[in-house]
């Protein structure tokens, strides 16, 4: 049951005077629960509790933290239909998506728990050579972390999403700034985390959940001197604003922001000659999936002007027109989609590809695909903008040289995709693909960019403005690296060292000893 209150550690609190409600975008009505925005003293109390909890939680054994993460997954599953119903009412997303995202969320938590039990994530390095200093290094947690819930993933990128799971795995208490679009979903998940913390004996303050209807709560959190890092998934505007606030503090802190991307797709001639219809159907489904509300939505598809490319574009437009319009997450997001789309459609030099025109429900979005030539795309940066929703720009390039010029002109992206069915043509596009690699965090071959696997090899990030720091990922097990820093111990007595660095290797983890990876004791 949702109360509309904040979790300040394990205590429900509603001291704030500002209130708000979530909206059911499918029905275009407000949901019943009244939510209380966190007051300044509630924010301060949450951070102070996190700071105090860090003293013990940062020293908690990996096996105990793993039990905590597994318990969170179990408590989320125990919320049952109430969580799914609330998710659907606040997002307009269907039941299948709710079930899938819940499974992804619990799967992430369990994956980080498994990582902790294996133990090598601390990256223990030992240099022990006769006549030289004894040098030993490992990663340690940095302190309280603020996580901003994402609008488009009420579970997997929000209260118990990848940022929270990875920060808790690292040994950092987490304060979530809940997203106002799905505050009820956030509170239910927060209750599961609090139950799990109590059940596994974690310190009070290891987790808090704060409501907000605007920017003030988030700004206050980022400015707080006891906060050591920030995780954010959202817009370029929001992410860069947080980066500026964090950089302007007396003691600056990192903001790991995953922001915007149009995810360029290179449709090479061989793919269009042999698999044009297959790729057109796959990409029509990718463009319209989730009403286009994915950060990996394919918003830009490029190819060399030819009959095959024109045929591919026509099939893609036809298949996209066949998709039924669906509900967006919120009236404000629908309005933003229409405004951004209108800005692009006010430009000159494009041709309309899709033809679907129909009356739709208030928060439903009609998909749209347009095409431009390479010269127009290079001259007009408006065609480069991300339109968050079911929208894509197709670009007909004059030749490989122009295609290469366009790729070099793009901003940083989360993904880049190459469609190809003949490796013999690879040499012709070698430079183009190399330049694409330098623009993206994930390079995809013969697939769609939507869908981000949670695994140790995943990179969900990329050069700015795809993310604020291209060296890190917000998805996958290495996301934990954002919340730790290396510390070196020099010439310390063995019994005073952390267990991960002791000679006998009591944790039996993989360590790099004199530049050789081993589990052997010294």
Angle (nearest 5°) at CA 339 between 320 and 293? 50
Paired sense of beta strands 229-233 and 145-148, if any: parallel
CA distance 127 to 138: 12
Of 90, 258, 308, 386, the active-site residue reads 258
296 closest CA partner among 163, 420, 395, 416? 416
Per-residue pLDDT, 357 = 87
- Mean pLDDT split into 10-residue runs, the chain, 522 residues: 96 97 97 98 98 98 98 98 98 96 98 98 97 97 98 96 98 98 98 98 98 96 98 96 98 96 98 96 97 96 97 97 96 97 97 92 96 98 97 98 98 98 93 98 97 95 97 97 98 98 98 97 96
Angle between helices 95-118 and 62-78 (to 10 degrees): 170
User: Are 179 and 150 contacting, i.e. CB atoms less than 8 angstroms apart?
Assistant: yes
Region at 165 (left for phi over 0; alpha for psi -120 to 50; beta for the rest): alpha
Per-residue pLDDT, 222 = 98
Paired sense of beta strands 413-419 and 440-445, if any: parallel
Of 101, 172, 187, 295, the active-site residue reads 295
Token look-up 């007396």 returns 250
Angle between helices 40-57 and 216-223 (to 10 degrees): 40
Q: Active site includes 295?
A: yes
Task: From residue 297, give the alpha-carbon distance in Å to each of 387, 415, 489.
Answer: 10, 9, 45
6-122+142-259+472-482 — its CATH code? 3.40.605.10
Region at 400 (left for phi over 0; alpha for psi -120 to 50; beta for the rest): alpha
CA distance 142 to 137: 15
Angle (nearest 5°) at CA 265 between 415 and 347? 105
Per-residue pLDDT, 1 = 84
Region at 454 (left for phi over 0; alpha for psi -120 to 50; beta for the rest): beta
Per the confidence metrics, is the pTM higher than 0.75?
Answer: yes
CA distance 471 to 479: 10
Task: From residue 373, give the alpha-carbon distance in Å to each of 269, 313, 431.
Answer: 17, 13, 21
Per-residue pLDDT, 358 = 85
Task: From residue 495, give the alpha-carbon distance in Å to each of 351, 485, 488, 491, 498.
Answer: 72, 22, 16, 12, 8
Token look-up 């808090």 returns 208
User: Are 306 and 400 contacting, i.e. CB atoms less than 8 angstroms apart?
Assistant: no
CA distance 387 to 377: 15
Question: Beta strands of 309-404 (E only): which ranges?
Answer: 326-327, 350-352, 364-365, 368-373, 391-397
Per-residue pLDDT, 300 = 98
Task: Give the start-to-end residue ranges of the domains of the chain.
Answer: 6-122+142-259+472-482, 264-445
Task: From residue 13, give the alpha-carbon distance in Å to each of 10, 28, 119, 242.
Answer: 10, 29, 37, 26
The count of residues in the chain is 522
Per CATH, the homologous superfamily of domain 264-445 is: Aldehyde Dehydrogenase; Chain A, domain 2 (3.40.309.10)
Interacting residues of 238 by C-beta distance below 8 A, sequence separation 6+:
148, 232, 257, 259
């Amino acid at each position: 049951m949702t109360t509309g209150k904040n979790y300040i550690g394990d205590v429900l609190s509603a001291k704030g005077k500002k209130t708000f409600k979530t909206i059911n975008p499918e029905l275009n009505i407000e949901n019943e629960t009244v939510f209380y925005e966190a007051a300044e003293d509630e924010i301060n109390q949450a951070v102070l509790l996190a700071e105090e909890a860090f003293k013990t939680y940062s020293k908690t054994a990996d096996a105990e933290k793993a039990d905590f993460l597994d318990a969170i997954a179990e408590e989320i599953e125990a919320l049952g239909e109430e969580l799914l119903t609330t998710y659907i009412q606040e997002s307009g997303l269907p039941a299948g998506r709710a079930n899938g995202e819940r499974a992804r969320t619990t799967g992430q938590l369990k994956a980080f728990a498994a990582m902790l039990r294996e133990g090598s994530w601390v990256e223990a390095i030992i240099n022990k050579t006769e006549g030289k200093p004894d040098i030993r290094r490992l990663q340690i947690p940095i302190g309280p972390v603020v996580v901003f819930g994402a609008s488009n993933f009420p579970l997997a990128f929000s209260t118990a999403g990848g940022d929270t799971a990875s920060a808790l795995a690292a040994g950092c208490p987490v304060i979530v700034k809940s997203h106002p679009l799905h505050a009820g979903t956030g509170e239910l998940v927060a209750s599961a985390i609090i139950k799990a913390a109590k059940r596994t004996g974690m310190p009070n303050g290891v987790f808090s959940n704060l409501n907000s209807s605007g920017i003030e709560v988030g700004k206050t959190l980022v400015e707080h001197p006891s906060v050591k890092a920030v995780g954010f998934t959202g817009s370029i505007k929001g992410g860069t604003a947080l980066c500026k606030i964090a950089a302007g503090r007396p003691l600056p802190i990192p903001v790991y922001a995953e922001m915007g991307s149009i995810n360029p797709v290179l449709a090479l001639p061989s793919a269009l000659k042999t698999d044009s219809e297959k790729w057109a159907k796959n990409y029509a489904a990718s463009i319209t999936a989730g009403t286009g509300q994915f950060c990996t939505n394919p918003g830009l598809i490029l190819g060399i002007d030819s009959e095959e490319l024109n045929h591919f574009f026509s099939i893609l437009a036809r298949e996209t027109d066949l998709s039924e319009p669906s509900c967006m997450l919120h009236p404000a997001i629908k309005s933003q989609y229409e405004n951004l789309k209108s800005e692009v459609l006010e430009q000159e030099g494009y041709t309309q590809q899709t033809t679907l025109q129909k009356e739709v429900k208030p928060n439903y979005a009609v998909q749209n695909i347009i095409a431009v030539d390479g010269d127009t795309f290079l001259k007009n940066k408006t065609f480069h903008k991300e339109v968050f929703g079911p929208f894509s720009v197709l670009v007909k390039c004059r030749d490989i040289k122009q295609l290469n010029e366009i790729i070099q002109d793009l901003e940083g992206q989360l993904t880049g995709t190459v469609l190809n069915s003949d490796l013999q043509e690879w040499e012709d596009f070698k430079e183009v693909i190399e330049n694409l690699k330098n623009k993206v965090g994930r390079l995809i071959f013969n697939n769609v960019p939507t869908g981000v696997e949670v695994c140790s090899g995943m990179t969900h990030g990329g050069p700015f403005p795809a993310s604020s720091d291209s060296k890190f990922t917000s998805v996958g097990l290495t996301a934990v690296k954002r919340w730790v820093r290396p510390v070196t111990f020099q010439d310390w007595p063995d019994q005073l060292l952390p267990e991960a660095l002791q000679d006998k290797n009591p944790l039996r983890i993989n360590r790099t000893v004199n530049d050789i990876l081993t589990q052997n004791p010294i």
